[in-house]
A and B are shown apart, each in its own frame.
Chain A
Amino acid sequence: MNAYNRNTLIVGIAVALLIGGIVSYFASGDPDGFEKTQEALGADQPVHVSVEPPPSLFEGYSLKGLGEGFWSNAVAGAVGSLLVLGVLLVVARILKRRPSRQDPKKV
């Protein structure tokens, strides 16, 4: 990997960890605009059949068993950010490995 791409990754990861791991701890705990609207309209109860998500260690952006404190939030933020990065790098690798039909250079 060249220096340009390495620096993109290092600075990007540092910023994401800072924001997701630390700054997010100081985020407002108030409901967001949509949740608040639902409350105000009395439309905040699920009424349809729902698909259950798989069991997770990080439900609600905190690490299960670590409560709601700083470290719980920090671990969730760091894991989530790195997971998004990892998934996107894997997706990119898969997309680039299989040659595009429109690209005559690679067969």
Chain B
Amino acid sequence: MHIASGFLSPPAWVTMAAVSGAALAGSLAAARRQLDDRKVPLMGVMGAFVFAAQMVNFPILSGFLTGLPIGTSGHLGGGFLLGVLLGPALGIVAMASVLVIQALVFQDGGVEALGANIFVMGVLPGLLGGAVRRLWLKPSWLSYTVTFTGAAAGVLAGATLVILLLKWSATLPQNVSLLHALGLMDSIHLLIGLVEGAITVAVVRFVREARREAVFGAALPASPVEIKV
């Protein structure tokens, strides 16, 4: 969902750069307090994982079922995943690093669109993911359901915002109605969002099991042994 170079007008990208810049500054300040010994390597490898996973485009159901354009793919966003596993602050820092490297080293996503891309794929889903993080202290079907739905909703919200930014930038052709553009973008991203939700639940479950202390650290009860009466 990376916005490429030349698609945002200066007012749009300056605004998004300011918003994401503020969010990133706040996240870095919070990160300083949250980074403990075990979180540092976890944040590093989760960022690397999201970069790698974003390279894996999967074909999505289209055409015959929905009337959507055939030959469309999607890939993991990962912002929600990072928000759940690292908390919103560290998640946003990790996602911003991924997006900056993609833009500067791989020329994926425009340089002036970085603020918008960081907001759409980092800040927005990162905050949503951070909001459901507590549910994973004791995983249950509720955690799975809310995480799946939330990750998909994050993709849809991001897709909607991208179209609104194009509209604001007058990049959408005059004869295309906003409703039509949103309908197309959101129906494709609903399908992508379902995959995002499934991958997010699976990865959160796995990492939460394998690296519980790194994921929850200070939020864990003092004694790891549950006292049963």
Contacts and interface: CB of A to CB of B under 8 A. Distances in A.
A92 B40 contact: yes
Contacts of B118: none
Contacts of B42: 8, 12
B107 to A, nearest CB: 5
A11 to B, nearest CB: 8
B33 A5 contact: no
A92 B43 contact: yes
Contact of A48 (B9, B75, B192): B9
Chain B interface size range: 35 or more
A100 B72 CA distance: 47
B153 interface: no
B125 interface: no
B10 to A, nearest CB: 7
Interface stretch (B127-135, B136-144, B165-173, B219-227): B165-173
Interface of B is mostly: helix
Chain A interface size range: 35 or more
A69 to B, nearest CB: 15
Given A13-B45, A48-B10, A48-B169, A84 B101 contact: yes
Interface of A: 2, 4-5, 8-9, 11-13, 15-21, 23-24, 27-34, 36-37, 39-43, 46-54, 56, 58-61, 73, 76-77, 79-89, 91-93, 95-96, 98, 100, 102-103
27 contacts: A13-B48, A19-B49, A23-B56, A28-B58, A28-B59, A30-B57, A31-B71, A32-B72, A32-B75, A33-B1, A37-B184, A40-B184, A41-B176, A43-B176, A47-B6, A49-B10, A51-B5, A51-B111, A52-B5, A80-B102, A84-B44, A84-B47, A87-B47, A88-B93, A92-B43, A96-B35, A102-B33
